[in-house]
Structure 1
Amino acid sequence: MLKILMVCGAGLGSSFACQMSVETVLKDLGVEAKLDHCDISSASGMNADIIISGKNFETQFKHYNIDATKIFLNKLVDKNEIKEKLIPVLKEKNVL
């Protein structure tokens, strides 16, 4: 099953809020995935297929060797932005 990880600085508030928005988008698309959230330093050990994080963390990810498709959002809970950026990745991974 596809694993999607939402990442923020502390792994609590904004990543969890993002996870709830991603759940809604995936449900609307009819896609099943295992979702989780964490802080940026824990992300490397989570073996995710897709990582979704804020645009403000994009440069920090360069310090970690994470083999996952990364999606960076301007607004973590904007379902339209999530859908717009997630659909091409889901198609690339033959999930949609």
Structure 2
Amino acid sequence: MAGKLPENFLRFKGTHPEIYAAFEELGRTLHESGPLSERERRLVKLGIAVGLGTEGGVHSAVRFANAGGCSREDIAHVVRLAITTIGWPRALAAMSWVEDLVGEEK
């Protein structure tokens, strides 16, 4: 997966590998424990990141969504759906973060 992880995250991961391993395992378990498909789970995670308004979270969610089989239109639709919930300014910011990754698509 393309993209450089933040230095503080890499430092924490290196300093506390047991915590990171537990976090990864929890993520895997949560991801696989319900009825949603891979595609649906990736779109939900993108929606959460958009709602939180975190650029890094949106970038990560878009990369995972692409890897999980979501199309550019699937991703754009999620962001458009957010307009009436989070408002134009935050949704437009999220749209710009999605566009940051256009060149990284598979």
Tell whether the structures are fold-level matches, with TM greater than 0.5.
no
Task: Select the structure with the greater relative contact order (CA < 8 A; seq sep ≥ 6).
Answer: 1
- The structure where strand makes up a greater share of residues is 1
- The structure where helix makes up a greater share of residues is 2
Length-normalised TM-score, structure 1 = 0.32
Length-normalised TM-score, structure 2 = 0.30
